[in-house]
Amino acid sequence: MLKALPARIPATIALFLAAFQAPSLAQSTSCPPPTALIASDNPAYADAMNLTKVLEAHGFVVNCIFPTKLGSIFQVADGDVVRSTVEGEANFTTNFGGFDVVFLPKPQTFADFKIAERREGGGYLYRFTGTPKVWAGDQFKFGSAYRNYFLKHDNYLFFLSDPSLISRLEEALRPPAH
């Protein structure tokens, strides 16, 4: 059933773990070269632009947006074909720090996606279950030397290394009071 995945699994794990092993890199305000920025034909582009408008209306300065490899964990085997269970993903570099976002196509949400954290050794172990599905099903786990933070909002799943960004993002994403 997982014929297409074994060759991708080590690379996926390495890329995913590398994203969280150095929180200072996620906080960086540097941007990749223009050719590496998110392109308008990227499936996550429209969601990334919508999120940018919301963030900028709440004091964020979005310096750049570029694709990540986080979406590769949201892949499942469907017979002999590997398909994504998400719309796309992007890294946002802002004046408040960097973070990754995974997008689901609307009206889907991350409400049924569960993230469990536990301490193991000197680090953290995370397990993802629920919907959307991840490549190893309910057995998917990843470890990190540093604590990671997650924020679910509608069709967005934020991956953060800086807990101070959580309250800023929650405020920016809160519906306006009537």
The confidence band for 76, taking pLDDT boundaries of 50, 70 and 90, is: confident
For residue range 107-158, what is the model confidence (pLDDT) as tens digits? 999 999 999 999 988 999 998 888 898 877 666 778 889 999 999 999 999 9
For residue range 14-36, what is the model confidence (pLDDT) as tens digits? 334 444 434 433 445 589 999 99
Q: Whose CA is closest to 98, among 57, 66, 123, 71?
A: 66
Judge if pTM exceeds 0.85. Answer: no
pLDDT of residue 71: 67
Domain boundaries, the chain: 9-173
Q: Whose CA is closest to 162, among 58, 92, 69, 90?
A: 92
